[in-house]
Structure 1
Amino acid sequence: MKEKVYGEGGRLVWSTEEYITYLEGKGFSFGEDMIGFIYFGKQYTKASDSLVNIAIELTLKVQKKFDGSFYVSLLETLTKNHIFTKREAEKFAREQGLFQ
């Protein structure tokens, strides 16, 4: 059994694999190439599962679909700007004009 991971405020953090499975259950379809982008970005930026999940969610909200290059760029930007929470990431995205 996989160990549970808790994040800020003691909240349970899903692994990226669990989060992708959850989104697929909600009707999002991730092909092998998309999943490859997700894990490439995670390794490239050395981001936590929590931040990867946030970047996936923001990518879907902003692009209305999963765009691998947008996701990797967003994840890299969040990491470089030391943004680690969903609240900080959404605020940053609004400040950058990503939400229309």
Structure 2
Amino acid sequence: MNNDHTLAYFLEDLWAKGFKLSDEDVRFIYFGNNSTNAPAWKTIIAVRVTLKFQHTFDPSFFMSVLEHISNPEIESKRGAYHALEQRGLYNRQPSA
């Protein structure tokens, strides 16, 4: 699936779930995605982490997260979440 379509579907799903991002927020998300040359899955993680910690879309927080995980050495979602956990930006929930 095309990288842009994956991100678009994710953002549309957020809208359907009640997270109403403004057009400006969506444009900024695409700007961040393009400026870091990050794959869609890393941008999606950055949006999720931003919404989880800020409870709203904070562009500077989003860019900080995205720049941190856009490192080419991070090759998997697990690696991205581990890198965020190392910075204190992600907390794994204990399994039941």
Q: TM-score range by the shorter chain?
A: 0.7 to 0.9
Task: Name stretches of at least 5 consecutive residues in structure 2 with no aligned partner.
Answer: 92-96
Counterpart CA distance in 2 for 1:72 and 1:45 is 9
Partner of 2:12: 21
* Structure 1 residue 37, shift from structure 2 partner: 1.1
Q: 1:51, 1:84 within 8 Å by CA — same for their partners in 2?
A: no
Aligned residue pair count: 89
* Whole-Å separation in 2 of the counterparts to 1:84 and 1:25: 29
What SS class does the counterpart of residue 66 from structure 1 fall into?
coil
Query: 1: CA distance between counterparts of 2:72 and 2:40?
Result: 17
- Scaled by the length of structure 2, what TM-score is found? 0.79
Separation in 2 of the partners of 1:85 and 1:64? 25
Structure 1 residue 96 displacement after superposition: 0.7
* Cα separation, partners in 2 of 1:64 and 1:85, compared to 1, 3 Å: farther
Which residue matches 1:49?
A: 40
Q: Using a 3 Å threshold, how does the CA distance of structure 1 residues 84 and 30 change in structure 2: closer, same or farther?
A: farther
Aligned residue for 1:64? 55
Cα RMSD of the aligned pairs, angstroms, is 1.9
Could you tell me how far apart the structure 2 residues matched to 1:65 and 1:84 are? Answer: 27
Residue 58 to residue 41, structure 1, CA distance change in 2 (3 Å)? same
Determine what percentage of the aligned residue pairs are the same residue.
34
